Amino acid sequence: MKRARFLLLFWLLAAPAAPMLVSDVVHAAPVADTFPDPAMEARARNLQRQLRCLVCQGESIDESGAFLAADLRHLVRQQLAAGRSDRQIKDFLVARYGDFILMEPPLKPYTWLLWLAPFLVLGIAGGVAALTIRRARSRAMAGVEQMTDL
Amino acid sequence: MTGELGQLALCFALGLSLVMAAAGLAGSRADKTNNGAATARAIANGSAMGLLVFVALAFGCLVTAFVTSDFSVADVANNSHTLKPLIYKITGVWGNHEGSMLLWVLVLSLYAGAVAAMQRGGERLTSAALGIQGLLAAAFLAFILFTSNPFLRLDPAPFEGAGLNPLLQDPGLAVHPPMLYAGYVGLSASFSYAAAALLVGEAGWARAARPFMLIAWIALTCGIALGSWWAYYELGWGGFWFWDPVENASLMPWLIATALLHSALATEKSGAFSTWTLLLAIAGFSMSLIGTFLVRSGVLSSVHAFASDPTRGFFIMVLIAGAIGGALALFAWRAPTLQGGAAFDTVSRETTLLLNNVFLVAACACVFVGTLYPLALDALTGTKISVGPPYYALTFAPIFFALLLLVPLGPRLSWRRADWRTALRPLYPALGLAGLAAIVVLALASPRTLAGTAAFAVAGWLIGASLVEARQRRGAQAAAFAAVLAHAGLGVTLMGVAGTTLWRSEALDVMGPGDIMHVGPYTLRFDGVTAVDGPNYQAQRAHVALIDGGRAVAMMEPEKRVYPAEGQDVSDTAIRTTILRDLYLALGDDRGGGRFVLRAYVSPLAPLIWLGALVMALGGALSLWGRLMVRAPAPAAQALPAE
């Protein structure tokens, strides 16, 4: 459901980026689906999980069945095979596709609110709760005094 | 004919919903001589039943059009196909925008009918609630008739329909949307009761609305679990939750509904948090509306897609603004007049319920911001960002984890004032079970992770506390075990989530006949692929033998299906479960020469995710049973402990 519909839509949107991508894939040497070295394979999988499939809805390239995701997986593995670091590969992809490709939004001025909001709400709700408890407690105390007065 | 009949029924329904709104609101006034309030109430009750009849009739017409493949109805032509099995012709009714909105209104009408039939909380409160429910029904019926009419005709009618997305042709997805809608729209009943309470000034609304809150919560719990299970076995990647906006749209109402269930307990008991509970009831249905907007307006696929055809999105936006804005304005106007201010001590059941609400609201804020922030940022600045699982792991997870730590305390503490030493002493065995769970996980699991150890310790704590509680409540009414079950279910789900997320092993390889693959403790032999014809698809079925001691002990047959009508292919996974562990196979691309990509996953404890949700829902069902069957003034669940 997700894939097919968004594949079409997003290829249209991603069209400007696509030619670069395709040319890369065509000229590069083919890389196997998996690295024989388990440590290297784990690195690749870990990296794939942190990168978003640009044409899907909320899926990483690790789990997406879209063609673009397969191409991106291929690209990641080529770069890993070429000895680039995780950081370098991510920077390369961000330079090409923007922050959109990162599953974890970067901490930048325009995402401060995104990262802070849950804890702001937690703080505010906690504050209101503390206030409510204090009031209820003083009422309970007053109630007890009245009882003892009688 | 059926198309026109359905159209006519919808028009009648719209008229009746307006009558119901006007009569319901008029009937909510206090009785005076000759003001006709009693007559208005009778009209409101009657129109609620009439509304249900006409919406059901319209829905029946659409089902008939789908079953008979009447392609002169555009909705059928766009979403059905003669070769589809009967069950998917029927479920295809809600597998598209127009039909699913009609299902939405059908569920809304069912709840309106139930409110009218049960008359909980007195005549005036019921009448006002019906009035609000009528307004909601009118708004959604107008939305259907003016922007999403399922009965529009095509002339000439095509010979064949376009088919239904193959991913939706699945038994899980047949039940999932109606279940989720029962939850989403069920929150409209507590919304209507809350607004009615504000209008009429009736304090007993929380008790009146309780069964509806419970039904909505149970349905949401089951609906979310079903959706997650479907994603697990259908999408072919072994994941169970993707933090996809559509999933988030169902999680937000669940979080608020859970907070509402707890807060309303205190309101019922002692009138505590009465304004807060009203606000939660409004917020719960608001989340449902926002979820509907997200899913139905097209805003998710792209902000630009929404802008290019804004009619529907704009209509829903106005509808939401009206419903939420109206309710909040009513709240701001009337809430200050309500009696508030309960008295309780710092250590008390009330405090734990407040903390429950603090964490649930923060967790909901997390999902809300994570879902809407990227949309807002894109719309306002054109900057695109993704908010994926890592964000929720750093925000939602710690907040929810803190909540889980506190869960066992609530049921132990008595109302108003508790002595925490005597109340919590019986929980020592639960602490023991938590420690034991942590030790077992450290001994058995590889790799050892802090998150996994903590998750199992907390699961042990939750389940242990529920066992303690169950033992103490022996012989009590069934409803007394509602919270016990629901809280234990949380622990069960937590184990499944931790097991699957942290200790899943996987293998991916190109396999030819006779090739061997190892995944986790299993050895698999690929025995080739055969072609199989389904009713409306062609499949490649792989035969994979599970090898133990050199012998094939079981065959697993994952498929890759091609649906020619829809031009899509879908993987049909093969799952072998022992409850403690799933072996999961998905067939991938054909690499030529009888060689195929095969993916295999071993997910420890995966079934517990959904089993836990089922246990939670059962807890909710026990409470509902107690409310509907035992007409005792105070359910036993609240009478304990030591009061």
Residues A83 and A133 in one domain: no
pLDDT digits (tens, 9 = 90+) for A99-112: 889 988 988 888 99
Contact at CB, A104 and B388, closer than 8 angstroms:
yes
B289, B252 contact by CB (below 8 A): no
Distance CA B194, CA A23 (A): 60
- Residue A150 has a pLDDT of 43
The DSSP 8-state label assigned to residue B564 in this structure reads: T
Test the B interface: residue of A55, A57, A122 with most B CBs within 10 Å? A122
Distance CA B205, CA B225 (A): 30
Contact at CB, A125 and B168, closer than 8 angstroms:
no
Contact at CB, B243 and A58, closer than 8 angstroms:
yes
pLDDT > 90? residue B447 = no
For residue B369, the chain A residues in CB contact (below 8 A) are: 113-114, 117-118
- The chain A residue lying nearest B236, using CA atoms, is A63
Confidence label for A117 from pLDDT (cuts 50, 70 and 90):
very high
Rounded average pLDDT over B94-106: 91
Looking at the complex, report in whole angstroms how far the Cα of residue B98 sits from the nearest Cα belonging to chain A.
Answer: 17
Of B168, B358, B383, Cβ closest to residue A110: B383
Q: How far is CA B179 from CA A6, A79, B506, in A?
A: 26, 46, 32
pLDDT digits (tens, 9 = 90+) for B269-282: 878 888 899 999 99
- The chain B residue lying nearest A8, using CA atoms, is B301
* Coil, strand or helix at B239: coil
Confidence label for B188 from pLDDT (cuts 50, 70 and 90):
very high
Residues A97 and A132 in one domain: no
Of A103, A111, A137, Cβ closest to residue B390: A103
CB neighbour list of residue B498: distance below 8 Å, 6 or more residues apart: B451, B452, B455, B456, B459, B605
Distance CA B321, CA B328 (A): 10
Three-state SS string over B1-43 comes to: CHHHHHHHHHHHHHHHHHHHHHHHHHHCCCCCCCCCHHHHHHH
- Classify the C-alpha dihedral B254-B256-B262-B267 as positive or negative: negative
Question: Rounded to 5 degrees, what are φ and ψ at B153?
Answer: -95, 155
Beta bridge partner(s), residue B519:
B522
Looking at the complex, report in whole angstroms how far the Cα of residue B44 sits from the nearest Cα belonging to chain A.
Answer: 39
Distance CA A58, CA A64 (A): 9
Confidence label for B301 from pLDDT (cuts 50, 70 and 90):
low
| N-to-C CA span, chain B | 64
Looking at the complex, report in whole angstroms how far the Cα of residue B309 sits from the nearest Cα belonging to chain A.
Answer: 15
Distance CA B259, CA B459 (A): 20
ipTM summary value: 0.86
Distance CA B415, CA B410 (A): 10
Closest CA to B356 of A135, A121, A129: A129
Q: Among the listed ranges B17-31, B407-421, B601-615, which one has the minimum average pLDDT value?
A: B407-421
Residues A95 and A46 in one domain: yes
pLDDT > 80? residue A22 = no
- The chain B residue lying nearest A126, using CA atoms, is B358
B616, B493 contact by CB (below 8 A): yes
Helix, strand, coil percent content, chain B, rounded in steps of 5: 65, 10, 25
Residues A72 and A145 in one domain: no
Confidence label for A36 from pLDDT (cuts 50, 70 and 90):
confident
User: Which tokens is B38 given?
Assistant: 């009693």
CB neighbour list of residue B415: distance below 8 Å, 6 or more residues apart: B269, B270, B344, B348, B349, B350, B638, B643
Share of chain B above pLDDT 70, in %: 96
- Residue B634 has a pLDDT of 44
Of A6, A60, A121, Cβ closest to residue B362: A121
For residue B571, the chain A residues in CB contact (below 8 A) are: 65
Confidence label for B306 from pLDDT (cuts 50, 70 and 90):
low
Residues A68 and A29 in one domain: yes
User: Which tokens is B97 given?
Assistant: 């925008």
Interface membership of B401 toward A (CB under 8 Å)? no
Residues A36 and A65 in one domain: yes
Of A57, A104, A143, Cβ closest to residue B390: A104
Rounded average pLDDT over B432-440: 95
Test the B interface: residue of A35, A56, A132 with most B CBs within 10 Å? A132
Of B346, B389, B509, Cβ closest to residue A137: B346
- The chain B residue lying nearest A61, using CA atoms, is B237
B211, B628 contact by CB (below 8 A): yes
Looking at the complex, report in whole angstroms how far the Cα of residue B510 sits from the nearest Cα belonging to chain A.
Answer: 8
| DSSP string across B196-228 | HHHHHT-TTHHHHHHHHHHHHHHHHHHHHHHHH
* B76 against B630, higher pLDDT: B76
Contact at CB, A139 and B300, closer than 8 angstroms:
no
pLDDT > 90? residue B568 = no
* Coil, strand or helix at B559: strand
Number of domains comprising chain A = 2
Distance CA B407, CA B376 (A): 34
Rounded average pLDDT over A67-84: 89
CB neighbour list of residue A127: distance below 8 Å, 6 or more residues apart: none
Q: Among the listed ranges A85-89, B400-404, B574-578, B633-637, which one has the minimum average pLDDT value?
A: B633-637
B583, B598 contact by CB (below 8 A): no
Test the A interface: residue of B256, B360, B385 with most A CBs within 10 Å? B385
Interface membership of B300 toward A (CB under 8 Å)? yes
Rounded average pLDDT over B188-204: 91
Within 466-525 of B, beta carbons closer than 8 Å to A belong to 508-510
**What crossing angle do the helices spanning B310-334 and B171-200 adopt, rounded to 10°?**
40
Looking at the complex, report in whole angstroms how far the Cα of residue A17 sits from the nearest Cα belonging to chain B.
Answer: 15
A17, A96 contact by CB (below 8 A): yes
Interface membership of B305 toward A (CB under 8 Å)? yes
* Coil, strand or helix at A75: helix
For residue B242, the chain A residues in CB contact (below 8 A) are: 58-59, 63
Contact at CB, B416 and A140, closer than 8 angstroms:
yes
Rounded average pLDDT over B87-113: 92
Distance CA B477, CA B546 (A): 47
pLDDT > 70? residue B364 = yes
Closest CA to B404 of B464, B347, B445, B348: B464
Distance CA B244, CA B249 (A): 9
Residues A116 and A95 in one domain: no
pLDDT > 80? residue B55 = yes
Within 584-613 of B, beta carbons closer than 8 Å to A belong to 597
Of B301, B344, B362, Cβ closest to residue A118: B362
CB count within 10 Å of CB A20 equals 10
Contact at CB, A33 and B597, closer than 8 angstroms:
yes
Within 97-126 of B, beta carbons closer than 8 Å to A belong to none
Interface membership of B339 toward A (CB under 8 Å)? no
Instruction: Look up residue B590 and give its amino acid.
Output: D
Q: How far is CA A53 from CA A58, A71, B386, B387, in A?
A: 7, 10, 10, 12
Closest CA to B571 of B550, B585, B591: B585
- Residue B154 has a pLDDT of 87
Interface membership of B425 toward A (CB under 8 Å)? no
- Residue B434 has a pLDDT of 95
What's the length of chain B?
A: 643
pLDDT > 80? residue B30 = yes
CATH label of the domain that carries residue A23:
1.10.8.640
Structural domain span for residue A30: 2-101
- Residue A1 has a pLDDT of 42
* B406 against B32, higher pLDDT: B406
Q: Which long-range contacts (CB under 8 A, 24 or more apart) does B627-636 make?
A: B627/B210, B627/B211, B627/B214, B627/B479, B628/B211, B630/B477, B630/B479, B635/B477, B635/B479, B635/B480, B636/B473, B636/B476, B636/B477, B636/B479, B636/B480
Interface membership of B242 toward A (CB under 8 Å)? yes
- The chain A residue lying nearest B510, using CA atoms, is A33
User: Which tokens is B371 given?
Assistant: 């879902």
Contact at CB, B381 and A113, closer than 8 angstroms:
no
- Residue B636 has a pLDDT of 41
Q: Rounded mean pLDDT of chain B?
A: 89
Distance CA B288, CA B140 (A): 13
Residues A94 and A38 in one domain: yes
Distance CA B406, CA B429 (A): 16
Of B244, B373, B388, Cβ closest to residue A103: B388
Residues A84 and A117 in one domain: no
The sheet that has B596-604: what strands, in order across it?
B505-511, B596-604, B581-590, B574-577
Rounded average pLDDT over B211-222: 96
- Residue A38 has a pLDDT of 82
Of A4, A60, A126, Cβ closest to residue B358: A126
CB neighbour list of residue B24: distance below 8 Å, 6 or more residues apart: B40, B41, B44, B127, B128, B129, B130, B131, B132, B133, B134
Within 157-196 of B, beta carbons closer than 8 Å to A belong to 165, 167-168
Looking at the complex, report in whole angstroms how far the Cα of residue B133 sits from the nearest Cα belonging to chain A.
Answer: 30
- Residue B84 has a pLDDT of 86
pLDDT > 50? residue B561 = yes
Residues A116 and A145 in one domain: yes
- Residue B302 has a pLDDT of 59
Distance CA B181, CA B295 (A): 13
Confidence label for B323 from pLDDT (cuts 50, 70 and 90):
very high
Share of chain B above pLDDT 90, in %: 58
Residues A22 and A89 in one domain: yes
Confidence label for A15 from pLDDT (cuts 50, 70 and 90):
very low
- Residue B294 has a pLDDT of 84
Q: Among the listed ranges B128-137, B302-311, B403-412, which one has the minimum average pLDDT value?
A: B302-311
Confidence label for B630 from pLDDT (cuts 50, 70 and 90):
low
Rounded average pLDDT over A114-121: 94
Residues A76 and A97 in one domain: yes
* Chain centre distance of CA B516: 41
| N-to-C CA span, chain A | 71
Is B104 exposed, middle or buried (CB count within 10 Å of its CB: 0-12, 13-18, 19+)? buried
User: Which tokens is B260 given?
Assistant: 């509402």
How many residue pairs bridge chain A and chain B with CB atoms within 8 Å of each other? Answer: 150
| DSSP string across B45-108 | HHHHHHHHHHHHHHHHHHHHHHHTT-TTBHHHHHH--TTS-HHHHHHGGGSSHHHHHHHHHHHH
- Residue B492 has a pLDDT of 97
User: Which tokens is A59 given?
Assistant: 């899926």
Number of H helices, E strands in chain A: 6, 0
Please tell me whether the overall predicted TM-score, pTM, comes out greater than 0.95 for this model: no
* B115 against B590, higher pLDDT: B115
Interface membership of B243 toward A (CB under 8 Å)? yes
Is A30 exposed, middle or buried (CB count within 10 Å of its CB: 0-12, 13-18, 19+)? exposed
User: Which tokens is A18 given?
Assistant: 């696509």
Within 347-376 of B, beta carbons closer than 8 Å to A belong to 350-351, 354-355, 357-359, 361-363, 365-366, 369-370, 373-374
Instruction: Look up residue B558 and give its amino acid.
Output: P
pLDDT > 60? residue A31 = no
- Residue B298 has a pLDDT of 72
Rounded average pLDDT over B434-463: 92
Rounded average pLDDT over B113-130: 93
* B245 against B128, higher pLDDT: B128
Beta bridge partner(s), residue B586:
B599
